[in-house]
Chain A
Amino acid sequence: MSRLSSTDTPTEEEAAPEVDTARNELVARFTAHLGEGLLESHVDPGVDVWLRVSRESWLEAAEFAKSGLGFGYFSFLSGIDWMPSPFGRDMDSSIDVALGNDERSEIDQTIQHGVAGGTGRFQVFARLNDVVNGLGITLKVDLGDDLTVDSWVAVYPGANWHEREAAEMYGFSFTGHPGLRPLYLPSEFEGHPLRKDYPLLARQMKPWPGIVDVEKMPGDDDEGDDS
């Protein structure tokens, strides 16, 4: 598991461009093990790999990644709310202000998922590392209407606090978690702050003025004064 000498640096970065054999093989092994459980995958050659698994395979994916593929390192786990904010993306107006255009762009309320796709509003995603080969992997899972998914604590004990955080911030529930108490928020706190429909009061009370002051960059050559 551990290399005690730093002389043997991994060479997978050099083999990066176009076809990423290491990451493609990773996806192939996941497909072979999970079968139907692996819903979608995406490889960004030389950079990263994403896998979306079904809810039933979420725990199995973690077990396989840890014992079968050497992803012993648990990096983080969190959630995503894909529903565009009903309050509008108030920063959009800033483009118009800055470009001298008063028309506000229409807020698109359709849910568009990110890399490796998805269904429904909420996703849980987690990141694992293989410290021997220097590879990282992002796993995603769609949550159904009950916002429940298996807990990873039995496989990665480090997931404990991350799941508590996701639970209070998004209102998720993790089956098999030893104690889903709030981590940061006081116990009487209402609502789930990281959901897109949870208003950020500071922004609502005092709307953003738009880009009124664009910082001059060293590369800007249109105005040469240093005042």
Chain B
Amino acid sequence: MTAISDREQLSYIAAQAADARVNVELETEGMTLNIGPQHPATHGTLRIVAKLDGEQVVAVDPVMGYMHRGYEKLAEVRTYPQVTTLVNRIDWVGSFANEVPFILAAERLMDVEAPPRAQWIRTILFEMSRIANITLFLGDMGLQVGAVTPAFFAFRDREHVLNLIEAATGGRFHPNFDRIGGLKDDLPAGWITETKRVMKKMRQYCDEIETLVEGNEIFQTRTRGIGVIPADIGLSYGLSGANIRGSGVDWDVRRDNPCGLVHNETDWKVWTHPDGDSFARFWVRLQETRESTRIIDQLLDNIPSGPIMAKVPRIIKVPAGEAYVETENPLGVMGYYVISKGDLTPYRVKIRSASFNNISITPWLLKGVYVPDIITILGSLYFILGDIDR
């Protein structure tokens, strides 16, 4: 008898407690949501642990290291020409651009300058890897808000650029084409005409994306005013590339600190957007892709003739010293701090990759946003995991 009444008592208390929980409508228990390591918005294996209160994010903790390959250590036991093979794999969508700052740093230490033709071709391929990289972003950003078609367009048109990169370098994804003092090879016959044709096509692609995605009402609602980064916060986190130019900071290494690349031989413009939201970052990247095709067109028009390789010794020993060279890569500022002790190998290479800084703002930026916006904000920051984990 007593046992039954005890049980009744317990169930009554449980019911009361359940009622109480329902009645306090807005107070839900916190929940931890694991996004990744495998998620399309993470471009690799980034895991984001988000603590939620209902639909709102209380705190996020990105977990990296799933793809850490230790390039800084590996570079210490490789000769300078061998390092380009490693760094190709940092940002694997715009590989050629990764090689350039390292080679430029080594060239600065050696006091070697590439001949004009090599500098021109370098800049062309550099911009081409930007187009290959950002084309993917432009389609992918549509995907993040539920539009599948732009992604197909992106993959279709990126192929033209990849074919050109392959024709010139021999590698679609990992060209490994830049050498200390110049380039591996000259351009193949017919490449310039073909490139001009493709650049026209890429401008059409940008127009397509503009009408298909940018003007779309759903896209606008999902990105306008979402994930706003004020300029000073962005700077103190070290954001770069379109992420900082989308916050109205007019800073582009290609223009402000050109070292070894010849962008300033052409007439081009740095695009900025004052809003600092997801839409602004998308918009800036779209304009930059167009601008890149214009840069390439102009460079092709006045490409100088001559050798593509300076005189460098067969076995490269880099004199002792320290050099830091940064360039404006597709994902943002990428730099190599190379310390040499006069050996065949670098003594220390610090790789400053763009995505590492770009993504370090997420604990601040994602606080208070709603769950679906996590995806669009991450998409708009645009990072490649290899560029975070190195």
Chain A residues whose CB sits within 8 angstroms of the CB of B251 once the complex forms: 2, 73, 131-132, 134
10 contacts across the A-B interface (CB closer than 8 A): A4-B250, A6-B252, A47-B108, A50-B322, A80-B348, A127-B337, A138-B324, A138-B337, A194-B73, A217-B179
B249 touches A1 (CB 8 A): yes
By secondary structure, the B interface counts as: loop
Q: Does B319 sit within 8 A of A, measured CB to CB?
A: no
Q: Does A157 sit within 8 A of B, measured CB to CB?
A: yes
Chain B residues whose CB sits within 8 angstroms of the CB of A138 once the complex forms: 324, 337
By secondary structure, the A interface counts as: loop
Cβ 8 A contact of B248, one of A2, A47, A169, A220: A2
B309 touches A219 (CB 8 A): yes
Per-residue A-contact encoding for B147-191, CB less than 8 Å = 1, 0 else? 000000000000000000000000000000001011111100000
What separation, in Å, do the CA atoms of A89 and B76 have in the docked complex?
9
Q: Does A15 sit within 8 A of B, measured CB to CB?
A: no
A72 touches B307 (CB 8 A): no
Q: Please, how many residues of chain B have a CB less than 8 angstroms from a CB on the other chain?
A: 73
Q: Does A19 sit within 8 A of B, measured CB to CB?
A: no
Q: Does A13 sit within 8 A of B, measured CB to CB?
A: yes
Which of A10, A99, A211 lies at the interface centre, i.e. has the most chain B CB atoms within 10 A of its CB? A211
A72 touches B337 (CB 8 A): no
Q: Contacts A131-B235, A157-B237 known; A76 to B321 CB distance under 8 Å?
A: no
A214 touches B314 (CB 8 A): yes
B235 touches A3 (CB 8 A): no
B248 touches A4 (CB 8 A): yes
What separation, in Å, do the CA atoms of A90 and B258 have in the docked complex?
36
Chain A residues whose CB sits within 8 angstroms of the CB of B25 once the complex forms: none
Cβ 8 A contact of B335, one of A75, A134, A186, A194: A75
A2 touches B250 (CB 8 A): yes
Chain B residues whose CB sits within 8 angstroms of the CB of A78 once the complex forms: 337, 350
What separation, in Å, do the CA atoms of A114 and B337 have in the docked complex?
12
Of B11-19, B201-209, B353-361, B371-379, the one with at least 4 CB within 8 A of chain A: B353-361
Chain B residues whose CB sits within 8 angstroms of the CB of A48 once the complex forms: 323-324
A73 touches B235 (CB 8 A): yes
